[in-house]
Amino acid sequence: MSLDKLFNPKSIAIVGASSEEGKIGNVIAKNILELGYEGEVYLVNPKYGEIFGKKCYKNLAEIFEDKPASSAGMIDLAILAIPAKFVNQEILNNSKNIKNYVVISAGFSEIGEEGKKQEEELKKITKENELNILGPNCLGFIIPSLKLNASFAGGMPEAGNIAFVSQSGALAVAIMDAAKKEGTKFSSIVSVGNKMQIAETEMLEFLVQDENTKVIGMYLEGIKEGEKFIEIAGKITKIKPIVILKAGKNEKTQKAISSHTGALAGDDEIVSAVFEKSGIIRANNLEEFFALLNFISFSTAVPNQKVAVITNAGGAGVLVSDAFSGKKIQLADLENETKNKLREFLPAESSVENPIDLLGDARADRYKKALEIISSVPEIGSVICLLTPQEQTPVAEIAKEIIKFKDKTDKNIVTVFLGGEKVEKAIAKLKQNEVCNFSFPDLAVTAIDSYSQWNEFRVSKTKTPSQLINEKRRTKVLEIIAKAKSENRQALYFGESAEVMAMYGINTVESFEIENYHGRNLGYPVVLKVDSDKVLHKTDKNGVMLNIENEMKLSRAISEMKTNFPESHFIIQPMAKKGAELIIGIKKDEIFGPVIVYGLGGIYAEFLKTVDYLVPPLSLGQVEKSLLSGKIKFLFQGVRGQKKYNAEEMTKILIGISSFSLEIPEIREFDINPLIVYNNSQEAVAVDVKIII
């Protein structure tokens, strides 16, 4: 249901309003009554007849008593700040007349079993009566443009274009306080509390349509309904930038895992992969989060990724250059023409290489002229103006020139004014005029880089395909799985896995059963392997015998193996030709569903973690981009003195795995280890395939 009336109510009832200082119901009532909200307000509390000179109702129902005709729609929003035990009943009683609620009250799922039960019940009420409920256990929300502070945090932030959604009320309070000092302006601040019904995805859907919101910032500790979140977020980031500070990097303890993929894939890396796929900007820490929101709030995403830096201090310039390492945006190489123009007015000792050093005695005119020249270069998208407050530096004047210039250009102009008292006022002036100042050079570079990557995502044509299920294929695979299950196996035999892989276009190494190898052309040397769900780490347990040279030795090897692994299933495979060993697996993430993990294989794979992540469903373009910019890109670009590996072939394999992961959600774990790929015409081949069912 639309959240419009919840966040833009014409009338509000405050249940639990109080005249007692320090009570939450007191703070909320004052915030709503005294900070400029212009809608109708009803106070509710059985303890009082009147608060703040206003009538106080016993309960919500009493408000409607004398106005039965117009009851429905009379109150757009009810805010509940009463003990948890009364919440469900009060909402249920009024569910016909009031559709939107904010439940401030704590004492729900966050306190354990008892609370969880009550929250489940509330959720049911919500659904059955088509209600919107923010919370429970939340701080409330604030819409500065409406002068509506429907929370128990004090004050009224300035109205602006940043929507901030927080899973932590306390952090929201701290950020609001910091924002006041920094001049950060908000379209809305929403505390989502326990996220019973309205969670990140619902907020995104609302905020994308909110005209006042330019950028959406979220502090999240967890993500609900991951697959839906990916889908919705991916669409919204094509319209508005989303910046998320995701806490809890080490939250979950790894469960016992039997596949290599499990050991390779970190939960936090998966979050990053999901964000990347969805075009979400991930803030690495609170400071970056702040910086990104402030920057985007004031700036346009420019298509040009080159950056120019002008500075009045060489040293500070070097620090900015350093900050570019590992970033996608780059310092622009200036053309001779530009350099000559700069040389014309700069002293001989200046540097006209980017960072452009205007020297310590630079006054406003040098900044102005340099800005004009730089901004006439089409490739340059952003300019970082660095300043240190030296004796001869007219800080305020320089700020003024930068502000004037910003209005005339379509480049991103940001500043890094280093210092304390000497730059304080100028920084305030810059911010008032929507020039973003960063306290430190690194933050400026990071922010421009992230915004620029978002813009690339936004304009890219690559579309995530919809999830097509090949029902016929699915049925066949399920039959194979059913047979294995009927034999009480937890894993498919290699032969079965090979059959499944073939359906997804993946080639496996030839294999023979030990019962019928006699007289067949095995292609010595061969490998003998135990093929059992009870021996998953074969190599560790001597379940693999390599390089068996002839039939006699094979026969001996089989006897030995049978003794070591009685009642097991065995297979014989020819030794695969040498190539690059890769690993591909599917990690079933609890939140986001299947995630493909792929990278370098070999015995050190687990330690080197040279892996990348892909979140299905996938387009060819998405896979190719990952291959060519990821951790094993060197294989597809050609190792020194070696031919390139075939990125197209690898793309098809990964698309096959993607279809497999979506089509057969029944599988519990999966990996191919190794997949051997070749840089000649030879086809890639899966040597071992583990499908745990």
| Region for residue 162 given its phi and psi (left: phi exceeds 0; alpha: psi -120 to 50; beta: otherwise) | beta
Query: What CA–CA distance (Å, rounded) separates 561 from 288?
Result: 57
Q: Give whole-number Cα distances, 225 to 199, 222, 475, 529, 684, in Å.
A: 9, 10, 27, 41, 36
Helical pair 395-408 and 421-432, crossing angle rounded to 10 deg: 20
Min separation Cβ 71 and its own copies, Å:
34
Nearer to its own copies, 323 or 676 (CB): 323
Nearer to its own copies, 440 or 458 (CB): 440
Query: What CA–CA distance (Å, rounded) separates 525 from 546?
Result: 8
Please, is 469 exposed, middle or buried when counting C-beta atoms within 10 Å of its C-beta (0-12, 13-18, 19+)?
exposed
Ranges within 464-503 binding its own copies (CB under 8 A)? none
Ranges within 615-674 binding its own copies (CB under 8 A)? 634, 639-642
Contact 82, 135 (CB under 8 A): no
Nearer to its own copies, 221 or 499 (CB): 221
Determine which residue in the list 66, 113, 515, 540 makes contact with its own copies, applying CB under 8 A. Answer: 540
The answer to whether residue 217 forms part of the interface with its own copies (CB under 8 A) is: no
Determine which residue in the list 61, 159, 286, 428 makes contact with its own copies, applying CB under 8 A. Answer: 286
The answer to whether the bond into 465 is cis (omega within 30° of 0) is no
Nearer to its own copies, 366 or 474 (CB): 366
Nearer to its own copies, 24 or 91 (CB): 24
Determine which residue in the list 53, 378, 420, 566 makes contact with its own copies, applying CB under 8 A. Answer: 420
Min separation Cβ 360 and its own copies, Å:
5
Min separation Cβ 641 and its own copies, Å:
3
Nearer to its own copies, 323 or 509 (CB): 323
Q: Count of CB atoms within 10 A of residue 285's CB?
A: 10
475: Cβ–Cβ under 8 A, 6 or more apart, which residues? none
Min separation Cβ 135 and its own copies, Å:
15
| Sheet strands (E) in 274-411 | 281-283, 306-311, 330-331, 356-357, 380-387
The answer to whether residue 612 forms part of the interface with its own copies (CB under 8 A) is: no
Determine which residue in the list 89, 254, 376, 539 makes contact with its own copies, applying CB under 8 A. Answer: 539
The answer to whether residue 543 forms part of the interface with its own copies (CB under 8 A) is: no
- Which residue in the block uniquely carries the two structure tokens 């190489």? 333
* Tokens linked to 657: 């795995």
Query: What CA–CA distance (Å, rounded) separates 139 from 158?
Result: 18
Q: Count of CB atoms within 10 A of residue 344's CB?
A: 10
Min separation Cβ 57 and its own copies, Å:
25
The answer to whether residue 394 forms part of the interface with its own copies (CB under 8 A) is: no
Contact pattern from residue 41 through residue 80 relative to its own copies, giving x for each residue in contact according to CB under 8 A and a dash for the rest: ----------------------------------------
Determine which residue in the list 81, 134, 173, 244 makes contact with its own copies, applying CB under 8 A. Answer: 173
Ranges within 304-333 binding its own copies (CB under 8 A)? 312-316, 318-319, 321-325
Determine which residue in the list 111, 575, 576, 620 makes contact with its own copies, applying CB under 8 A. Answer: 111
The piece of 302-310, 433-441, 451-459, 656-664 that touches its own copies (CB under 8 A) is 433-441
Min separation Cβ 80 and its own copies, Å:
18
Query: What CA–CA distance (Å, rounded) separates 24 from 104?
Result: 9
How open is the CA angle 172-177-181, to the nearest 5 degrees?
Answer: 140
Nearer to its own copies, 264 or 655 (CB): 264
Ranges within 9-48 binding its own copies (CB under 8 A)? 22, 27
* Tokens linked to 651: 């793309």
Q: Give the three-state DSSP class for 188.
A: strand
The piece of 177-185, 193-201, 235-243, 406-414 that touches its own copies (CB under 8 A) is 177-185
Min separation Cβ 193 and its own copies, Å:
12
The answer to whether residue 253 forms part of the interface with its own copies (CB under 8 A) is: no
Ranges within 181-210 binding its own copies (CB under 8 A)? 181-182
Nearer to its own copies, 89 or 539 (CB): 539
Query: What CA–CA distance (Å, rounded) separates 666 from 331?
Result: 49
Q: Give whole-number Cα distances, 200 to 162, 222, 246, 282, 508, in Å.
A: 15, 9, 12, 15, 42
Ranges within 141-170 binding its own copies (CB under 8 A)? 152-154, 166-170
Site size for its own copies, by CB under 8 A? 80
The answer to whether residue 256 forms part of the interface with its own copies (CB under 8 A) is: no
Ranges within 352-391 binding its own copies (CB under 8 A)? 360, 388-391
Q: Which residues of 531-553 are buried (b: 16+ CB within 10 A; e: fewer)?
A: bbbebbebeeeebbbeebeeeeb
